[in-house]
Amino acid sequence: MLHYKLIVSDFDGTLRRTEGGISEGNARAIEEYVRAGGVFALCTGRMMSSILPYARRLRLRGLVAAYQGAMIRDIESGALVRDNRIPCADAQQICAFLQGMGRHIHVYDGDDFYVNRDDDFRRWYEQACAVRGILTPEDIAATVRDKNISPHKIIAVSPPEERAAVLAALQQKFGERFYVTTSMEYLVEIVCKGSDKGGALEYLCGHYGIPLAEAIAVGDNYNDLPMVRKAGLGVAVANGEEALRREADFVTRTCDEDGVGYVIRKFGLGENI
C-alpha cells in the first residue's frame, strides 16, 4: 500500500533536465508509481499548451495544472476544471505599472500570450516553451484594454540584478490583491490570490480524495514554496533555491540526477535506496 498516494512535481528545474526533456529514469519511475496505484501530476508556471505535450508523453491521466494553478485541465478530455483570471481592469493597471518601470511584459490569455518586445528573451522563451507570442506595441496595457483580456498570468522580465527590486515594487503595489512570486532569476509573475501552487495542490487533493498528509510536492524555486509547505512531504531538488531547500522536509538529487525519480522510489514506492 502506498503511503504517499499523490506526487505533484514542478517542471522546469525539477522534472525537466537542464538541457531539456525528461530523462528515461524519471519517466520509468513515474510509470512504475502510477502502475502501483499512485497519482502523479504536473504543476507548472508554464502555459497549458506548453505543458500538455509532456503530460501526454508521460501517458499521464487526470489533471494537469498550469499558470501556477490558475488553470487546471483534464489531460484526456480537455475539460477545463479551474480557470482563475485577473480582471481586465486590474490587468491594465498592472501592465501600466510595469511599463512605467520599463519592463519586458508577457500577458497570458489561455493558449495565447502577448509580448511587448521582440528581443532575445522573447526568442529564447518561444523556443524553450514551444509556443509563439503575439507581438504588441510597447503599450501592452492598451492591447489588454482593447481586446478585453482577463489574463491567467502576467510576467515581468528583468536582468537578474533587478529582479528583487521589481518583485518588491509589485508586492507593495499589488500584493494585497494578487499573488506575486518569482520562478526564475529574471522573472516576476502575477496571478490571482489562491492561484499559487499551494492552492493547486489543495485542489488536486480534493479532486482525488487524497489528504494533504499523503501528498508529496517537489520543486526548485520560490513559486514552489506554497505547495512544498502544504504537502505532507515537501521536497526541494538540490539545484533549487536556498530558501526552498531550507523549508523542505527533504532535499533530493538535482534535476540532472533524476531527483524526482529518486523521490518516487524512496517515498512513493518505498524502495530502500
Q: What is the mean pLDDT of the chain?
A: 97
| Angle between helices 160-174 and 88-100 in degrees, nearest 10 | 140
d(CA 185, CA 187): 6
Percentage of the residues of the chain whose pLDDT score is greater than 90: 98
- C-alpha dihedral (181, 182, 186, 192), degrees to nearest 10: -40
- C-alpha dihedral (112, 43, 64, 32), degrees to nearest 10: 140
Mean pLDDT of 225-233: 98
Are the CB atoms for 201 and 213 separated by under 8 Å? no
Examine the pLDDT at 1 and tell me if it is beyond 90.
no
In order of 185, 193, 248, the CA distances from 178 in angstroms are 20, 5, 25
Residue labelled with grid coordinates 528573451:
121
pLDDT tens digits, one per residue of 234-247: 999 999 999 999 99
d(CA 113, CA 87): 16
In this prediction, residue 10 carries a pLDDT of: 98
In this prediction, residue 180 carries a pLDDT of: 98
Closest by CA position to 208, among listed 32, 11, 34: 34
In this prediction, residue 168 carries a pLDDT of: 98
pTM of the model: 0.96
Mean pLDDT of 116-121: 96
Mean pLDDT of 138-154: 98
Write out the three cell numbers for 197.
Answer: 501552487
CA 154 to chain centre: 13
Mean pLDDT of 173-189: 96
pLDDT tens digits, one per residue of 25-81: 999 999 999 999 999 999 999 999 999 999 999 999 999 999 999 999 999 999 999
Tell me the chain's radius of gyration from C-alpha atoms. Answer: 18
What are the chain's domains? 6-83+195-268 (3.40.50.1000), 88-192 (3.30.1240.10)
pLDDT tens digits, one per residue of 69-110: 999 999 999 999 999 999 999 999 999 999 999 999 999 999
